[in-house]
Structure 1
Amino acid sequence: MSYSVLGAGEAFWRPSNQMKVLNTDLAKQLGVSEFGARLWRLRPGQASTKHRHRLTAELYVVLEGEGRMRIDEDSLVLPRLSAVFVSPDSVRQIFNDGEEDALWLVFGAPNEAANTLEMDEETIAFLYPDGPKALPPELSS
């Protein structure tokens, strides 16, 4: 078959392993192995993991709400439908310090394993330089 479809009501959503942010692995559910693609729904006060990659470059798109993101030392405020490209070696983290949910679409290529429950300590230390549960300053109190 030359295509696959995942209907809106068919997507499997689950909390992420470390930060408990609702997400759905679109690429996996569609049988795609060439790149990663996920939707992330951040409720007020939530953040994704602060991380970097060895090989994967990522494209972040704000689909709903206002997007907040840190890339290395820069803090970005992004209106709906804004997009950001991040190279593998930059440390990045999306977060929500607002009052409404934010929905992000994140694409990454090439696809790399991202399950912290299956990584060794050396890999975790490289990918998550401040640990897999670090919060941005905007949510630290």
Structure 2
Amino acid sequence: MSDDYSMVQVHDVEPTPSASSGTDHVDLVSELGCTEMRPKVWYLSPGDAMSYHRQTEQEELYYVLEGPGRMKIEGDLIDVPEGSAVRIPPETNRQVLNDTEGEHVWLIVGAPPATDDGRPADEDA
């Protein structure tokens, strides 16, 4: 078997709460040994919300695995249908939230793989 790839069954990994928002997620960076990106699977129960933030360096890809999803982007609430992807540049304020009755599941990938790249949306650039 080739060592040129890694694989994980996401549902076999125990989600842990985010340090900033408390939202459960599976950190695929550590599970897969990622070095050029920061992928995570996020589980938002009804009423959950990630912090409203922007990034210093990271461009982020948001993909709704189960939804529909909801996002706040630069103050505008948008619906993100299941199976849809959204790309957001670093300086754009964003938040994933769940104001519905069902669970939302997102794949969110940031690159480059900067650690602790997020900052509050109201913090000066």
Q: Report the counterpart of residue 14 of structure 2 in structure 1.
A: 12
Q: Report the counterpart of residue 81 of structure 1 in structure 2.
A: 83
Q: CA deviation at 1:78?
A: 1.2
* Equivalences for residues 1-141 of structure 1 within 5 A: 1-114=3-116, 127-130=119-122
Q: CA deviation at 1:130?
A: 4.2
Higher strand share: 2
CA distance in 2, matches of 1:14, 1:85: 25
CA distance in 1, matches of 2:11, 2:95: 28
TM-score, length-scaled by structure 1? 0.79
Q: How many residues align?
A: 121
Higher helix share: 1
8 Å contact kept, 2:23–2:43: yes
CA distance in 1, matches of 2:51, 2:22: 10
TM-score, length-scaled by structure 2? 0.89
8 Å contact kept, 1:11–1:26: no
8 Å contact kept, 1:44–1:97: yes
Q: CA deviation at 1:12?
A: 3.4
CA distance in 1, matches of 2:10, 2:42: 14
8 Å contact kept, 2:10–2:26: no
**What is the CA RMSD across the aligned residues, in angstroms?**
1.7
Structure 1 unmatched ranges of 5 or more = 115-122, 132-141
Identity percentage of aligned residues = 36
